[in-house]
Structure 1
Amino acid sequence: MAKHLTLQEAVAELIHDGDTVAMEGFTHLIPYAAAHEIIRQRITDLTLVRMTPDVIYDQLIGAGLVRKLIFSWGGNPGVGSLHRFRDAVENGWPRPLELDEHSHAGMANRYVAGASRLPFAVLRGYRGSDLPRRTDTVSTVACPFTGEELAAVAALHPDVTVIHAQQADTKGNVQLWGLTGVQKEAVLAADRSLVTVEEIVDDLELRPGGVIIPTWVIDAVAVVPGGAHPSYAAGYSVRDNDFYRSWDSISRDREAFTAWLEENVLSGRAVSR
Structure 2
Amino acid sequence: MSAAVLTLAEAIEHYVADGASIALEGFTHLIPFAAGHEIIRQRRRELHLIRMTPDLIYDQMIGMGCARKLTFSWGGNPGVGSLHRLRDAVEHQWPRPLELDEHSHAGMAAAFCAGAARLPFGVLRGYLGTDLPAHNPNIRTVQCPFTGESLAAVPALNPDVTILHAQRVDRAGNVAIHGILGAAREAALAATTLLVTAEEIVDELPPAMNAIVLPHWVVAAVVVCRGGAYPSYAQGCYARDNAFYRHWDAIARERAGFLAWMDEHVLGTTDHRAFLAGLQQAAA
In which range does the TM-score fall when normalised by the shorter chain? Answer: over 0.9
- Percent identity, aligned pairs only, is 61
Corresponding residue number in structure 1 for 2:47? 46
Shift of 1:2: 1.3
Shift of 1:135: 2.2
d(CA) in 1 for partners of 2:180 and 2:153? Answer: 28
Deviation at 1:251, TM superposition (A): 0.2
Instruction: Show CA shifts across 1:111-139 (max 9, x none).
Output: 00000000011110101222212223211
Post-superposition shift, 1:175? 0.2
What is the alpha-carbon distance in structure 2 between the residues aligned to residue 199 and residue 12 of structure 1? 22
* 1:238 matched to 2:239: yes
Tell me the equivalent position of 1:164.
Answer: 165
Instruction: Name the CA distance, whole Å, in 2 between partners of 1:10 and 1:82.
Output: 28
Q: Is the 8 A contact 1:166 1:233 kept in 2?
A: yes
One-letter amino acid of the counterpart of residue 223, structure 2: A
Cα separation, 2, equivalents of 1:198 and 1:75: 26
- Give, in angstroms, the shift of residue 196 of structure 1: 0.2
Q: Secondary structure at the match of 1:270?
A: helix
Match of 2:86 in 1: 85
What CA distance in whole angstroms lies between the structure 1 residues aligned with 2:129 and 2:149? 16
1:270 matched to 2:275? The reply is yes
Q: How does 1:169-248 map to 2 (within 5 A)?
A: 169-248=170-249
Where does the alignment leave 5 or more consecutive residues of structure 2 unmatched?
none
CA-based RMSD of the aligned residues comes to: 0.8
Check whether the contact 1:111–1:155 (CA below 8 A) recurs between aligned residues: yes
Distance in 1 (CA, whole Å) between partners of 2:165 and 2:14 is: 18
Please give the per-residue CA displacement for 1:124-171, whole angstroms capped at 9, x wherever unaligned.
010122221222321111111110111111100100000100000111
Greater shift in the superposed pair: 125-134 or 172-181: 125-134
Aligned partner of 2:210: which letter? G
Secondary structure, aligned partner of 1:113: helix
How many angstroms apart in 2 are the aligned matches of 1:131 and 1:193?
A: 31
What amino acid is aligned across from residue 179 of structure 2 in structure 1?
G
State the TM-score, normalized to the length of structure 1.
0.98
1:179, 1:59 → 2: CA distance?
24
Residue 208 of structure 1 deviates from its aligned partner by 1.5
User: After alignment, is 263-272 or 220-229 more displaced?
Assistant: 263-272
Which SS does the other structure have where 1:146 is aligned? coil
**Structure-to-structure mapping, 1:12-23, within 5 angstroms:** 12-23=13-24
Kept in 2, the 8 Å contact 1:100–1:134? The answer is no
Q: CA separation in 2, counterparts of 1:206 and 1:113?
A: 28
Moved over 3 A (4+): none
Say which SS state the counterpart of residue 196 (structure 1) adopts: strand
Query: 1:206 Cα deviation (Å)?
Result: 1.6
Give ranges in structure 1 of 5+ residues lacking alignment. Answer: none
Task: In structure 2, give the amino acid aligned to 1:83.
Answer: H
Conservation of the 8 A alpha-carbon contact between 1:161 and 1:186: yes
Where do residues 135-174 of structure 1 align in structure 2 (5 Å cutoff)?
A: 135-174=136-175
Residue aligning to 1:102:
103
When the two structures are aligned, how many residues end up with a matched partner? 273
TM-score (norm 2): 0.95
Letter in 1 for 2:62: I
Equivalent residue, structure 1, for 2:25: 24
Paired letter, 1:17: D
| 1:15 Cα offset (Å) | 0.4
Letter in 2 for 1:56: I
Matched letter for residue 165 of structure 2: H
* Matches of 1:240 and 1:256, distance apart in 2: 21
Determine the C-alpha separation between the residues in 2 that align with 1:8 and 1:204.
26
Structure 2 CA distance, aligned partners of 1:3 and 1:83?
37
CA distance in 2, matches of 1:51, 1:99: 13
- What per-residue deviation string (whole Å, max 9, x for no partner) do you get for residues 84-130 of structure 1? 00000000111011100001000000000000000011110101222
